[in-house]
Chain A
């Protein structure tokens, strides 16, 4: 504004030293000012300026997101979502998003910032949030660098410069996505940089090969058996054991047969007397193992690393000469988990074989309709929560009913709390109406009450989204 700066410098220097020159001000102000002094003039000028403010020009609005929004579920469902985002029963958030997505519902856009923040540090929620955000996902990702993950994962960069010049995290994610698109190219990329990488990096990258593992990877893994680092050699052996028909498997099978034979329904084992160089190369650890004789330990490693085809499931129940039957059982359990063999899992679980910490994994390999009968059998020795805790959720309806029936009978003893908290999340939508959820729970904060609360919360959630 004309004359304003003059007023400011008069005020700064003082009117004694620099008398204000009102004639510089707009005429309107001079008219109003009359006999007034500097502060009167400044007040008029201030209001003159404020009243004269005009809108900004030259701004280009951000291009709108293209596409259409999904319809929104009913208000009760939205209120539940909002409650979960403020910390109430937040563990059910993923389930809500999945159920809404399957039924074609969208999410009110005002909840997207909170959802994006939630998924920022929880990668497993990201695809759900991307689906919920629909057309707004990549629009928001463009604006907020923290939410870049909202761009569909497919758009991940495949710029080879990331592989040669990126940081550890970028390279890892680059290799992982290449492995998914083109497994052979990933091995090729790995081969190029292999000798220059540190042992820790080699180990990490080798771990990515479990995804899409196939006979095409055998040559590379076989070479890694001669790696400088022990951990890398061990990881290469583990990979090779998973490749069907590999030379490594063949070698292990040969070793099994040279120490184990079956005749007249009895297994005869001759334990190895030494670990030779080729066995060590294939990952057999010569160092003794706690709680097991040295030679039995060597044989257990051989049998566990050999393909299951080197033995037959019926052998689980055969008498054993030459070593304790448990040595064989534990080895077979390890191999059965690796090869995901339902026949072997059944053979081991239904015969009270010793399977150590592999039991829950073996149960998982069984067809779901066999879970209950296996659990009935194993329950005598193993805690129910340990057995079902490893099963994928949601459980099949019969298993869920079985567990809830059981919980309904046991009162409020503290030792059932863990099973109850597992069941609360694992029960499928069509069993949420189980009679236990209608039982009065009393005022005390017991596992029973929390179970009923969670089941009810989830049941209402599905009702609202239907």
Chain B
């Protein structure tokens, strides 16, 4: 190996090695680690250049010299990185390393969000003034662009709502009405954000979370509302996505009757956290709720092993819809709601299905749901079923064959 510009300092040895290419490889070894860096394309680590250089140095063939710029830059970068990770390791969860810096970051973000909300509001006002006609052509791309702007403004919650609105454009006969619904609820978030100070604190929290502010786990565990109970696992819904898999696990307290949601995320192709219990089982434990006017999302601290449970009690169709309306009164943006329906029987609903209660009232099953397992369990008899309700219909998660829970999704 031909070396040029080789030198050594107290902390490193370096040199330029002429390989087969035009540019010589830059090789540097930090002696304390030791750590290696070389600009050669070798996948071996350390590469032969670094080893050769060390060999020369060990046999005393490299003389002391001033560190050139590219060597000292790398060494400095390494030491700051090491400091930072040491800091992270020392920091206790939930504790803010530098309160002042954190506050500055938060206020910078708040400024960005405010600017984003102002931009969104004026865009919305503009559209309404000039009219949504022609949206079939330009709507999707404009809304997508706007969603990207909201991501830049660090308002991912609003970005998601705008993307949903983009999905409505041109879909089906009634899309203008659907789009107006979506846009009006976005407008509602934006104007609520404008008078955050006047809102009751819990509603302000709800608005913040709809905009996309997340509360740190440690803070929820430390300050969130605590409810202890035996939690019945009503079921789970998994939504695979290109990038992120979302799992919603719905719980209901046996004595308190409180409903709760545990969210889990995993990058596509990666495993989700194991379930605390199977649907239909009980988990004794304490839930710490995220703040908000409709506290649903929670973190679970399990206190005892899971237990079997008999078939839970449920609602009829009218009561079920009423419970969803109640949730809307607290959080007008609420999209999904867990329901336990008692004694419902399947009926055909065109190409889809409906569930009919004892009084003859029916809820539609979400179109496209594979209902065959439920149908086989029911065989026409009344069944208790837990599921997730949204405006498009009911998605069954768990049903009970007698007292035996059967997982449907």
Interface residues of A (CB under 8 A from B): 4-5, 7-8, 10-17, 37-40, 42-43, 45-47, 50-51, 53-57, 59-65, 108-110, 112-113, 135-136, 139-140, 143-144
- Top 4 A-B pairs, shortest CB-CB distance: A14-B131, A64-B380, A42-B184, A55-B361
- State whether B376 touches A136 (Cβ < 8 A): yes
- State whether A12 touches B318 (Cβ < 8 A): no
| Residue ID in chain A nearest B399 by CB atoms | A110
Report the bound CA distance from A7 to B379 in whole Å.
46
Report the bound CA distance from A135 to B362 in whole Å.
26
Q: Is B51 an interface residue (CB 8 A)?
A: no
Report the bound CA distance from A345 to B380 in whole Å.
56
Report the bound CA distance from A195 to B56 in whole Å.
99
* A contact residues around B366 at 8 Å (CB): none
CB distance from A449 to the nearest CB of B (A): 29
- State whether B379 touches A136 (Cβ < 8 A): yes
Q: Is B185 an interface residue (CB 8 A)?
A: yes
Q: Contact partner of B376 among A5, A10, A112, CB < 8 A? A: A112
Report the bound CA distance from A38 to B404 in whole Å.
51
CB distance from A66 to the nearest CB of B (A): 9
Q: Is B50 an interface residue (CB 8 A)?
A: no
Report the bound CA distance from A4 to B181 in whole Å.
10
Chain A residues touching B, majority SS: helix
- State whether B129 touches A110 (Cβ < 8 A): no
- State whether A60 touches B347 (Cβ < 8 A): yes
The total of chain B residues at the interface (CB under 8 A) is: 51
* A contact residues around B218 at 8 Å (CB): none
* A contact residues around B372 at 8 Å (CB): 113, 140, 144
- State whether A139 touches B380 (Cβ < 8 A): yes
Report the bound CA distance from A96 to B332 in whole Å.
53
Interface residues of B (CB under 8 A from A): 124-125, 128-133, 176-177, 180-181, 183-185, 187-188, 191, 317-318, 321, 325, 328-329, 332, 345-349, 354, 356-357, 360-364, 372-373, 375-377, 379-381, 391, 401, 404, 406-407
* B contact residues around A45 at 8 Å (CB): 184
Report the bound CA distance from A60 to B354 in whole Å.
10
CB distance from B353 to the nearest CB of A (A): 10
Report the bound CA distance from A253 to B130 in whole Å.
102
- State whether B128 touches A109 (Cβ < 8 A): no
- State whether B356 touches A61 (Cβ < 8 A): yes
A selection of 9 A-B contacts at a CB cut-off of 8 Å is A15-B131, A16-B129, A53-B321, A53-B325, A57-B361, A59-B349, A110-B377, A135-B379, A140-B375
- State whether A14 touches B391 (Cβ < 8 A): no
- State whether B128 touches A14 (Cβ < 8 A): yes
**Known interface pairs A55-B318, A64-B381; A42-B180 also in contact (CB < 8 Å):** yes
- State whether A8 touches B128 (Cβ < 8 A): no
- State whether A46 touches B184 (Cβ < 8 A): yes
- State whether B345 touches A39 (Cβ < 8 A): no
* B contact residues around A51 at 8 Å (CB): 325, 328-329
* B contact residues around A113 at 8 Å (CB): 372-373, 376
* A contact residues around B191 at 8 Å (CB): 40
Q: Contact partner of A63 among B185, B362, B380, CB < 8 A? A: B380
Report the bound CA distance from A440 to B19 in whole Å.
57
- State whether B373 touches A11 (Cβ < 8 A): no
Report the bound CA distance from A55 to B364 in whole Å.
9
- State whether B345 touches A62 (Cβ < 8 A): yes
- State whether B176 touches A11 (Cβ < 8 A): yes
- State whether A39 touches B183 (Cβ < 8 A): yes
* B contact residues around A110 at 8 Å (CB): 373, 376-377, 401, 406-407
Q: Contact partner of A59 among B318, B356, B379, B380, CB < 8 A? A: B356
- State whether A42 touches B181 (Cβ < 8 A): yes
CB distance from B317 to the nearest CB of A (A): 4
* B contact residues around A109 at 8 Å (CB): 376-377, 379, 401, 406
CB distance from B279 to the nearest CB of A (A): 12
Report the bound CA distance from A314 to B401 in whole Å.
66
CB distance from A68 to the nearest CB of B (A): 11
**Known interface pairs A109-B379, A109-B401; A59-B354 also in contact (CB < 8 Å):** yes
* A contact residues around B360 at 8 Å (CB): 57, 59
13 more contacts with CB within 8 A, not counting A11-B128, A14-B130, are A8-B176, A14-B131, A50-B391, A55-B363, A56-B361, A60-B347, A62-B346, A113-B372, A135-B379, A136-B376, A136-B379, A139-B379, A144-B372
- State whether B361 touches A13 (Cβ < 8 A): no
* A contact residues around B345 at 8 Å (CB): 61-62, 64
| Residue ID in chain A nearest B134 by CB atoms | A12
CB distance from B59 to the nearest CB of A (A): 48
| Residue ID in chain B nearest A17 by CB atoms | B131
